[in-house]
Structure 1
């Protein structure tokens, strides 16, 4: 399945008064990492919206485990990979590593979504070319 990796530096605004990352910030990091995963596959959100007429890939389930804190100034690595691909949904796993090793692991389930004729957001089949890229081992 397709994988990507990116580095993030923990900023002052990511941290709580205890000088560790405030947990909702991890979800923002992981959401951006899903976007980066699609960009690494060759699809920007702008292309997905403008060319493919999809709204994007909203989250329907997310879960995280926190093993060790990250702090202001840390440079962390986020490894992201597609874990499953269905007709209209897909799974992603993110692993955030700091100097102590695996710090946070998150799984997501997302759906490929478009607006129907009435303007209602609905899951749609993932386009074949995107599905093929998700399943590749690049």
Structure 2
């Protein structure tokens, strides 16, 4: 499956005093990309909870930082399923700086794997991802 791409601009609120993206904000960027990936598949997180009684939660995250993003940078944040189980998905994600010129390649800033599990929204106990949801990932 090709990676989903979501554009993000770095704002003042994303940075530290030096104008560099604060390291924890990459997790926020990755969350936004996963949410928009679901939305692109026709799945709203709110609707999933209302219609199925379940929801996705992050159960593990491992990130590696390569280069800093800076104030006003334009980023592409990707999300791709690399492993799928009955109760969880593992996503590969990257934050890339868009190139200044069309003939340049994007610069890898941060990459990681994020595992999301499906839980019953009332009890927060693990549950099986509904088949109708799994079918959207195929």
Is TM more than 0.5 here?
Answer: yes
Q: Where does structure 1 lack aligned partners over 5 or more consecutive residues?
A: none
What TM-score results when the alignment is normalised by the length of structure 2?
0.89
SS at match of 2:95: strand
Alignment of 1:17-96 (within 5 A): 17-54=17-54, 56-96=55-95
Q: Where does structure 2 lack aligned partners over 5 or more consecutive residues?
A: 100-105
Segments of 4+ moved more than 6 angstroms: none
Cα distance in 2, alignment partners of residues 23 and 87 from structure 1: 31
SS at match of 2:56: coil
Q: How many residues align?
A: 131
Of residues 90, 105, 110 in structure 1, which corresponds to 2:111? Answer: 105
Question: What is the alpha-carbon root mean square deviation over aligned residues?
Answer: 1.4
> Is 1:128 aligned to 2:131, yes or no?
yes
SS at match of 1:58: strand
Query: Would the aligned equivalents of 1:3 and 1:37 in 2 still touch at CA under 8 Å?
Result: no
